[in-house]
Amino acid sequence: MMSKDCGEFDLVIFGASGLTGRYAVEELARSVVRFPEIRWAVAGRNAEKLRETLAIVQDYLSDEIEIKDTQIILADVQDPASIYQMCKRTKLLLNCVGPYNLFGGEMIVSTCVECKTHCIDISAEIKYLDRVLANYFEQARRNCVYIIQACGFGSLPADYGVTLLMKKFPGGLNSVEYFVEFGEGPEGKPVGCGTFSSIILSMWDYFIPYKFEKEVEEKVFRKLPTKSKLPTNKYYDFRDISMTYNNKESAWCIKYFGPDERAVRRSQMIRASYLNSEEHIEFQGQIKLPSLYEALRHIFVLLLNTIMCLSSAGRALLQKVSRRKNMRSANNFVFVVSHGFNEHNWFKDNINYKNHSLTDHSLFKDDIHYPNHSLTDHNPF
Give CA–CA dist 57/23, Å, rounded: 8
The answer to whether residue 14 is domain-embedded is yes
Q: Are residues 61 and 203 in the same domain?
A: no
Q: Are residues 43 and 59 in the same domain?
A: yes
Could you give the number of structural domains in the chain?
2
The answer to whether residue 334 is domain-embedded is no
Q: Choose among 37, 48, 33, 34: nearest CA to 11.
A: 37
Which of 323, 349, 374 is where one domain is finished? 323
The answer to whether residue 194 is domain-embedded is yes
The answer to whether residue 207 is domain-embedded is yes
38-69 pLDDT, tens digit per residue, is: 999 999 999 999 999 999 999 888 777 889 88
Compute CA distances 203 → 132, 196, 304, whole Å.
Answer: 18, 10, 12
In terms of residue numbers, what domain contains 223?
156-323
The one-digit pLDDT tens for each residue of the chain (381 residues) are 454 556 799 999 999 998 889 999 999 999 888 898 999 999 999 999 999 999 999 988 877 788 988 999 999 999 999 999 999 999 999 999 988 888 889 999 999 999 999 999 988 888 888 889 989 999 999 999 999 998 888 788 888 888 888 888 877 788 888 888 877 655 555 555 666 677 776 776 666 666 667 777 778 887 666 655 544 554 455 555 578 887 777 888 888 877 778 888 888 888 888 887 777 788 888 888 888 988 888 888 888 877 877 777 877 777 666 555 555 555 677 777 777 776 555 555 555 544 433 222 222 233 333 333 322 222 222
C-alpha count within 13 angstroms, C-beta hemisphere, residue 303:
8
Q: Are residues 235 and 133 in the same domain?
A: no
pLDDT at 55 (0 to 100): 92
Which of 151, 174, 204 is where one domain is finished? 151
The answer to whether residue 198 is domain-embedded is yes
The answer to whether residue 18 is domain-embedded is yes
Q: What are phi and psi of 72, to 5 degrees?
A: -115, 135
pLDDT at 105 (0 to 100): 92
DSSP state of 206: G
If residue 181 lies in a helix (H) or strand (E), which one and from where to where? strand 172-182
Q: Are residues 229 and 269 in the same domain?
A: yes
Which of 323, 351, 370 is where one domain is finished? 323
pLDDT at 283 (0 to 100): 86
Compute CA distances 141 → 2, 3, 4, 5, whole Å.
Answer: 14, 11, 14, 18
The answer to whether residue 379 is domain-embedded is no
C-alpha count within 13 angstroms, C-beta hemisphere, residue 39:
9
Q: Are residues 13 and 136 in the same domain?
A: yes
Instruction: Check: CB of residue 151 under 8 Å from CB of residue 144.
Output: no
Q: Are residues 160 and 309 in the same domain?
A: yes
Q: Are residues 186 and 293 in the same domain?
A: yes
- N-to-C CA span, the chain: 40
Instruction: Check: CB of residue 43 under 8 Å from CB of residue 86.
Output: yes
Say if strands 251-255 and 72-74 run parallel, antiparallel, or are unpaired.
unpaired
* Cα 201 to the center of its chain, rounded Å: 17
The answer to whether residue 344 is domain-embedded is no
Q: Are residues 144 and 203 in the same domain?
A: no
pLDDT at 350 (0 to 100): 55
Q: Are residues 317 and 277 in the same domain?
A: yes
Give CA–CA dist 266/143, Å, rounded: 22
202-257 pLDDT, tens digit per residue, is: 776 666 666 667 777 778 887 666 655 544 554 455 555 578 887 777 888 888 87
Give CA–CA dist 99/198, Å, rounded: 5
The residue type of 45 is: R
Q: Are residues 170 and 290 in the same domain?
A: yes
pLDDT at 347 (0 to 100): 54
CATH of the domain at 80: 3.40.50.720
Give CA–CA dist 295/307, Å, rounded: 19
Q: Are residues 51 and 87 in the same domain?
A: yes
Instruction: Check: CB of residue 333 under 8 Å from CB of residue 183.
Output: yes
Q: Are residues 111 and 73 in the same domain?
A: yes
